[in-house]
Amino acid sequence: MSGRAEGPVVVLSDPLSFWGGFDAESGEITDQRHPQCGIKLTGAVLLMPAGRGSSSASSVLAEAIRLGTAPAAVVMREDDEIVALGSIVADELYGMVMPVVVVDDAEYGRIAAANRVRLGRESLAVLS
Amino acid sequence: MTLDLSAEEQAMREGDLGPAIALAMRVICRTGDAMRAERLLAITGAHIDSCLFHGQAGLDFAARLASDGARVKVPTTLNVASLDLVHPELFRGPSDTGAKARELMSHYETMGCQPTWTCAPYQLDNRPSRGEHVAWAESNAIVFANSVLGARTHRYGDFIDICAAITGRAPAAGLHLDENRMGQVVFDLGDLPQSVIQHGLLAPVLGHFVGGRVGALVPVIHNAPNFTEDQMKSFGSAAASSGSVGIFHVVGVTPEADTLHAALGGQAPQTTITVTLDDLRRAWGELSTTSSEKLGAVSLGTPHYSIREFDRLLELLGSRQVDPRVHFYVNTGRGVAAELALRGWLGRLEKAGVQLVTDTCTYITPVMSPFDGAAMTDSPKWAYYAPGNLGVEVVFGSTEACVESAVAGRVVGDTGPW
């Protein structure tokens, strides 16, 4: 899912399941076992190495995109079709795009070290 | 890399067979691209998770497909939903949510899916055979189909499940392909004492431990006992909760693991982990959030209880009854519930104070009455998700401990090799 997005970088220390771990109404992490439980992901360029767990996660993510509480974009180290599907369906139903990109270790590290980034269709700029 | 589509598949995507098939095919193709698939493959069945209500987006998607005339092309079963249609009085959520959840369920029935409403489709009569390609959603069903049945499904989730059912196609990628099904991490149980190997808690606790260690890699269990299907259900559901396990092998037990060599596809493992008693003690401890003795409820049947598990439950209960202060729930499919009725077991369960929940599950929808104290379960999956979903304290224990606690009206812990 390519597309344009800009936002502050939030790096997840552990994988997150959007179902059971994230509230689409508030945009916050709710998994009590997650070290970053309670932080808000709305509008962030979210770096998560990999997804985890439930097959319901696509629905929760699509709903968050519809409600405007989702991250601005998700950057991953591994292909994750569960996350991609939430984004694909939000695009098909509402024309709302949340880019999901998979990058290599070096690029992941470069983004993780930034405060704010901008994603273009084929580019990624560190803003601060 | 782009997908190589057949003429028929291209026609589906271009809308020659109507807008619903076109939308479903676009979702399949876009997901196929995300999975780096080179082509699609034909499937013989599907199991749908999208019928569980998570908000307006899921309802909008089903409504669009159904109103555009979508029909499933292959036999398709439905996962648990948000409502128990057999015991509708149990629903304690907002009526607006209940109405939307019911509407969502209706859309999937309209599209020709079978109203099975179970997370354990492998307990139904027609289950896929070894080597058969299917598109199953619901993490515990996926891992069971791949590992125990030897059928082939990727870890599908909401939306793509129904799109695969409508088109009869899935991306040729992930766990459909030989190279992604081979074991990568060996868990050797050879150092564990026999008392632990034969203990009923081994499968669920080991599942929780393995999922936490492998993430999305393929685990191989070596020197394991001859696990039953119910034990592998428990193991797999735990490993698919604490990790992203979509397939596992048990050497000498599961169909693609006649030998350790076969389970690994002839390759050397990335890692071999010798499982210790301390590993299991720690994993077991992680599954409980409290050591309080105060008991408010017991919930069994996540994933849905099988007939054999009910048999065992009735045996453990004997002629005793659950303490009136404790709410005792067992989740199961309506197919198994019908068999309970035929066997005359429903009356025995009711008399013992057991509330049956069908079509849904106590941790995904508000059906449990409010209670004081901890909730006890024999399910590692319920123990994993209920604290976050329901805001309850959980004690994980064996089925025996759950029954003894329910009868005593307080938590009676497990004794044994732990």
Q: How far is CA A93 from CA A43, A73, A98, A124, B31, in A?
A: 20, 18, 13, 27, 15
- Section B27-48 average pLDDT: 96
For B138-186, the pLDDT digits (tens) are 999 999 999 999 999 999 989 999 999 999 999 999 999 999 999 999 9
- Section B381-398 average pLDDT: 92
Q: Cα distance from B312 to chain A (closest Cα, Å)?
A: 29
- Section B327-340 average pLDDT: 97
- Phi, then psi, of A28 in degrees rounded to 5: -105, 155
Strand-strand pairing, A124-126 and A116-119? antiparallel
Q: How far apart are CA A29 and CA B8, in angstroms?
A: 43
Structure tokens that stand for B336 in this block = 């198994």
Beta carbons within 8 Å of B282's beta carbon, 6+ residues apart = B209
This prediction has a pTM of: 0.95
Q: What is the mean pLDDT of chain A?
A: 91
CATH topology of domain A5-126: Glucose Oxidase; domain 1 (3.50.30)
Active site residue A87: no
Which residues of chain A make contact with B155, given a CB cutoff of 8 A? 55, 81-82
Instruction: Name beta bridge partners: A10.
Output: A46
Architecture of the domain made up of B289-408? 2-Layer Sandwich (3.30)
Burial class (CB in 10 A: 0-12, 13-18, 19+), B229: middle
* CB-nearest partner of B158 from A55, A84, A90: A55
Residue with tokens 């009206």: B409
- Section A82-91 average pLDDT: 94
Angle of the B56-67 helix axis to the B160-167 helix axis, nearest 10? 10
Q: How far apart are CA B124 and CA B7, in angstroms?
A: 35
Q: How far apart are CA B378 and CA B201, in angstroms?
A: 9
pLDDT at site B377: 98
pLDDT at site A3: 84
For A17-66, the pLDDT digits (tens) are 898 889 999 999 988 888 999 999 999 999 998 777 577 889 999 999 99
For B204-245, the pLDDT digits (tens) are 999 999 999 997 799 999 999 999 999 999 999 999 988 889
- Phi, then psi, of A116 in degrees rounded to 5: -145, 135
Q: How far apart are CA B230 and CA B207, in angstroms?
A: 13
Three-class DSSP category at A42: coil
Q: How far apart are CA A101 and CA A3, in angstroms?
A: 9
Whether B177 and chain A come into contact, CB under 8 Å, resolves to: no
pLDDT at site A31: 85
Rg (CA), chain A: 13
Q: How far apart are CA B412 and CA B186, in angstroms?
A: 34
DSSP state of B126: -
For B246-280, the pLDDT digits (tens) are 999 999 999 999 999 999 999 999 999 999 999 99
Which residues of chain A make contact with B61, given a CB cutoff of 8 A? 62, 89, 93
Contact B73, B111 (CB under 8 A): no
Q: How far apart are CA A93 and CA A66, in angstroms?
A: 9
Q: Do A56 and B26 touch (CB under 8 A)?
A: no
Q: How far is CA A54 from CA A26, A85, B23, B115, B243, in A?
A: 20, 13, 24, 22, 10
Helices (H) and strands (E) in chain A, counts: 3, 8
Contact B402, B377 (CB under 8 A): yes
Nearest-CA residue of chain A relative to B286? A33
pLDDT at site B413: 83
Q: How far apart are CA B354 and CA B331, in angstroms?
A: 10
Q: How far apart are CA B185 and CA B344, in angstroms?
A: 45
* Half-sphere exposure of residue B87: CA atoms within 13 angstroms, side-chain side: 21
Which residues of chain A make contact with B143, given a CB cutoff of 8 A? none
Structure tokens that stand for B357 in this block = 């929940």
Q: What CATH number is given for B7-179 in this structure? A: 3.30.499
Omega cis (within 30) before B303: yes
* CB-nearest partner of A79 from B35, B50, B137: B35
Whether B335 and chain A come into contact, CB under 8 Å, resolves to: no
pLDDT at site B237: 97
Domain positions in chain B are 7-179, 182-285, 289-408
For A1-19, the pLDDT digits (tens) are 778 899 999 999 988 889 8
Identity of residue A90: A
Q: How far apart are CA B207 and CA B186, in angstroms?
A: 13
- Phi, then psi, of A103 in degrees rounded to 5: -125, 165
With CA atoms as reference, report the closest residue to B376 among B394, B354, B356.
B394
Beta carbons within 8 Å of A99's beta carbon, 6+ residues apart = A1, A2, A3, A4, A5, A73, A74, A87, A119
What is the percent of chain B with per-residue pLDDT over 90, rounded to a whole number? 94
Identity of residue B278: D
For B275-323, the pLDDT digits (tens) are 999 999 999 999 999 999 999 999 999 999 999 999 999 999 999 999 9
Residue with tokens 């992680």: B286
